[in-house]
């Protein structure tokens, strides 16, 4: 089910099944210990996500915005929207003393498109973000585990967007509008928590 650009009678976007689409790829994950104090976990996914044939609907309201014309553009072998070719993550953990963990959490998401046309002008740029987490776990007779966590998210203060949408229409052949909207993510931010296990 993909968005086509077509709207229903109340202006909501319509989805349709597309023929000859596929998703194929490989995911690899692993974990290994560099030493008793260092642990590395990582995963990566490589994929191709394609639509064999896709018809995009654009509305042309005429030069005076008093018309209602439907333009249909056909595309072949395009990328499925919001489907990056590469997604990768890692966690590097340092355990200096018993109960204390310091972890660097990293995530990479490749370029993804806002629609099914594979147009670079309607895409979300690839991004790479890192979080830093400090966790201390202690045990008591009354409470089995007390986990104290302090985390710095987006520690390098990256400016990035992880989602969005695109919209287009025409007001005659000389007035073509394509608008992209993005959901920017938080810059550096902090999180503290206490978890109790009885």
pLDDT-derived band at 8, boundaries 50, 70, 90: confident
pLDDT-derived band at 1, boundaries 50, 70, 90: low
- Is residue 3 scored above 70 in pLDDT? no
Spatial neighbors of 144 by CB under 8 A, at least 6 apart, are 197, 198
Give the model confidence (pLDDT) of 62-116 as tens digits: 999 999 999 999 999 999 999 999 999 999 999 999 999 999 999 999 999 999 9
- Is residue 172 scored above 80 in pLDDT? yes
Task: Identify the three-state secondary structure at position 33.
Answer: strand
Q: What is the pLDDT of residue 141?
A: 84
> How far apart, in whole angstroms, are the C-alpha atoms of residue 176 and residue 136?
57
> How far apart, in whole angstroms, are the C-alpha atoms of residue 3 and residue 78?
14
- Is residue 37 scored above 90 in pLDDT? yes
Q: What ranges do the domains of the chain cover?
A: 2-197
Percent of the chain scoring above 90 in pLDDT: 78
- Is residue 189 scored above 70 in pLDDT? yes
| Average pLDDT of the segment spanning 141-148 | 90
Which one is predicted more confidently, 192 or 7? 192
> Do β-strands 161-170 and 38-60 pair in parallel, antiparallel, or remain unpaired?
parallel
pTM for the structure as a whole: 0.86
Best-predicted range by mean pLDDT (58-67, 135-144, 148-157, 166-175)? 148-157
The CATH H-level superfamily of 2-197 is: TonB-dependent receptor, beta-barrel domain (2.40.170.20)
- Measuring CA to CA, which residue among 67, 115, 107, 104 is closest to residue 87? 107
């Amino acid at each position: 089910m993909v968005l086509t650009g077509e709207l229903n009678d109340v202006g909501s976007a319509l989805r349709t099944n597309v023929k000859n689409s596929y998703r194929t790829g490989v995911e690899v994950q692993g974990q290994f210990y560099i030493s008793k104090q260092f642990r590395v976990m990582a995963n990566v996914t490589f994929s191709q996500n394609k639509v064999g044939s896709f018809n995009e609907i654009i509305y042309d309201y005429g030069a005076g915005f008093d018309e209602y014309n439907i333009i249909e553009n056909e595309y072949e072998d395009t990328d499925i929207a919001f489907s990056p070719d590469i997604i990768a993550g890692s966690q590097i953990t340092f355990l200096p003393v018993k109960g204390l963990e310091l972890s660097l959490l990293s995530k990479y998401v490749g370029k993804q498109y806002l629609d099914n046309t594979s147009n670079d002008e309607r895409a979300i740029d690839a991004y790479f973000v890192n979080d830093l987490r400090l966790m201390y776990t202690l045990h008591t007779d009354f409470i089995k585990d007390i986990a104290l966590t302090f985390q710095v998210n987006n520690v390098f203060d990256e400016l990035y967007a992880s989602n969005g949408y695109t919209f287009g229409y025409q007001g005659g052949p000389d007035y073509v509008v394509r608008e992209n909207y993005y959901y920017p993510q938080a810059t550096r931010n902090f999180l503290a928590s206490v978890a109790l296990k009885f």
